[in-house]
Amino acid sequence: MTVNHSAFTSIARINCRRLTSAVITHALFTAIIMVSATLPVNAADRSPLVVVSTAKTDSVIRQVPLSGTITSARVAKLSTEVSGQVEAVNVEVGDLVETGSALITLDREIEQLTLQALQAETKQASAELSDAKRRYQDAKGLRKQNSISENDLRLLEAEVEVDAAILKQQQVEQRRQQARIDRHILQAPFSGVISERLTEAGEWIEPGRPVLTLVAIDDLRIEFRVPQEFYSSIDKQTTLDVTLDAFPGREFAGTIDAVVPVSDPTSRTFLIHATVDAGDARMTPGMSVHGKLHLSTGRRGVVISRDAILRYPDGRVTVWVIDPDSEPGSEPGSKTATVSEKHVTTGHSFDGQLTIRDGISAGDVIVVQGNESLQDGQQVRIQRHE
């Protein structure tokens, strides 16, 4: 067998080059790892990032939670002014009606006939008055010629006055009968929605018996029952936030329209009426709502964000405070600060804030985010709360 020494030599050279390249690559990788292990690590880069804000002195507000109901300022149980048999009920529950809309019609046949008779009597009285006036005018001409006596003239004048009075009486009776007929149609006294229908065609109804319930929906208000202890603290300038159960997550500014100075002896509460501009949120009577009264206590105190508070099962309440001597900017090139835990006594809570009665002072920088797992003296990187 003949061996090609030239080919064998070429293959050996290629394998040698591959081995040399692998050895070099492994050596470089090992060197990089060793160099990386000897590089110093910046401790600040490993410090947790926290968000901070400054405790401040502010007015102490007390929030009072309330539950209420949307009601209409106008709710009417409608009835007819005359008795009669229902001829037609023109509305159903839920129908929107305008002022003056015909809601119920009673049978008017007999009343119409009575009106026609009165119209005929009025026409007759008008004709008799015209004839009396004509005869009186003729008599005045004859009296100038001494053809009739003064007494006859006065009798004709009196006849004109009597016929005029009869005509006026007949006209009044005719208008009265027309008004009675008009009252056989029950009209809507204001715009609203029909919430109850209490009669049907063919029924006999009497005046004062409710046949429909009409609720105005363009003049809505909210009724809240408030504990009587807050009566002296509430007026029309008291601020109120309102949330609607039908629109969770949205909050509206309410306005107190009236404080009803009558206390319910069973619940020890009094009533306030409030209105709210709900924008595109449609409200209807009967909806449940929740409110928050903001009552001034007349005091000022240290106020912080509620997020800064940590509560423990053993009853402790604490906040984390930035050491003022370590806060960034106190020393050139400083990037970190240290924290310490302070025990505090809390007061009223309002608008995401909490009053602090003891433990920290106004001006202290406190941690409001990232405070769940801190330790005393730990270094942190801080970001100001906007």
Q: Are 171 and 122 in contact (CB under 8 A)?
A: yes
* Digit-coded pLDDT (tens) for 96-124: 999 999 999 999 999 999 999 999 999 99
What pLDDT score does 9 carry? Answer: 46
DSSP classification of residue 377? T
Return the pLDDT at 336: 78
Nearest in space to 88 (alpha carbons), one of 75, 103, 69: 103
Q: How far is CA 361 from the centre of its chain?
A: 38
What is residue 1's predicted lDDT score, i.e. its pLDDT? 42
For 64-73+218-297, the fitting CATH number among 2.40.30.170, 3.40.50.300, 3.30.420.10, 3.30.470.160 is 2.40.30.170
Q: Provide the b/e sequence for 129-141 (b: ≥16 CB within 10 Å).
A: beebbeebeebee
For residue 40, give the DSSP letter.
P
Can you tell me the distance from the alpha carbon of 308 to that of 320, in angstroms, rounded to the nearest whole number? 7
Long-range contacts of the stretch 312-316 (C-beta < 8 A, 24+) = 316/343
Domain range 49-63+301-384, CATH architecture: Beta Barrel (2.40)
Q: Which of 90, 73, 83 is nearest to 187 (CA)?
A: 90
DSSP codes, 6-26: HHHHHHHHHHHHHHHHHHHHH
pLDDT of the residue at 25: 45
Rounded CA gap, 191 and 193, in Å?
A: 7
Which pLDDT does position 335 carry in this prediction?
64
Q: Provide the angle, in degrees to the nearest 10, between the axes of the packed helices 150-182 and 109-144.
A: 160
Do 216 and 191 touch, CB atoms closer than 8 A? yes
Instruction: Give me the torsion for CA of 68, 74, 75, 77, rounded to 10°.
Output: 160
Does the predicted model carry a pTM greater than 0.85? Answer: no
Distance CA 145, CA 142 (A): 5
Give per-10-residue mean pLDDT for the chain (386 aa). 44 46 45 43 67 86 88 93 96 94 96 96 96 93 88 93 96 96 95 94 95 91 91 86 86 90 82 86 87 83 89 91 74 68 86 85 90 89 77
Q: Which amino acid is at 179?
A: A
Residue 213's DSSP bridge partners are 77, 196
CB 186 within 8 Å of CB 78: yes
* Cα 167-170-173 angle, rounded to 5 deg: 155
